[in-house]
């Protein structure tokens, strides 16, 4: 696998929103704030969440471990994870 893509907070949020749009399109995404629970707000089930994880992993080159899922419950968690160099 290639080296993980390095990105800014803005790039990370845009990427996650884009992936979420492909998995759970709808008006809730437009009003999503950084601390809203993604599963609750967007109605994601476990398969939807796994699809988000897989697509973000593919697009960033980062391996996302199941142990990290708890910190990926909201946009702020995703942004932190993708920009802090801890993933992958």
User: Which domain covers residue 74, as residue numbers?
Assistant: 9-83
3-state secondary structure of 1: coil
Domain CATH code at residue 76: 1.10.1200.10
- Please give the chain's pLDDT, 88 residues, in tens: 456 667 999 999 999 999 999 999 989 998 999 999 999 999 999 999 999 999 999 999 999 999 999 999 999 999 999 998 544 4
- 88 falls within a domain: no
Number of domains forming the structure of the chain? 1
3-state secondary structure of 11: helix
- 14 falls within a domain: yes
DSSP string of 11-43, one letter each residue: HHHHHHHHHHHHHS-SHHHHT--TTS-HHHHHT
- 4 falls within a domain: no
The confidence score (pLDDT) of residue 21 equals: 96
The confidence score (pLDDT) of residue 6 equals: 79
How is residue 44 annotated by DSSP? -
Angle at 34 between CA 24 and CA 56, to 5 degrees: 50
């Amino acid at each position: 696998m290639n080296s993980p893509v390095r990105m800014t907070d803005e790039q990370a949020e845009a990427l996650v929103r884009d992936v979420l749009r492909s998995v759970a399109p709808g008006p809730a995404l437009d009003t999503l704030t950084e601390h809203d629970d993604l599963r609750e707000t967007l109605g994601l089930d476990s398969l939807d969440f796994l699809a988000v994880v897989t697509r973000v992993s593919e697009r960033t080159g980062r391996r996302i471990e199941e142990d990290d899922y708890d910190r990926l419950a909201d946009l702020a968690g995703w942004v932190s994870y993708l920009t802090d160099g801890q993933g992958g």
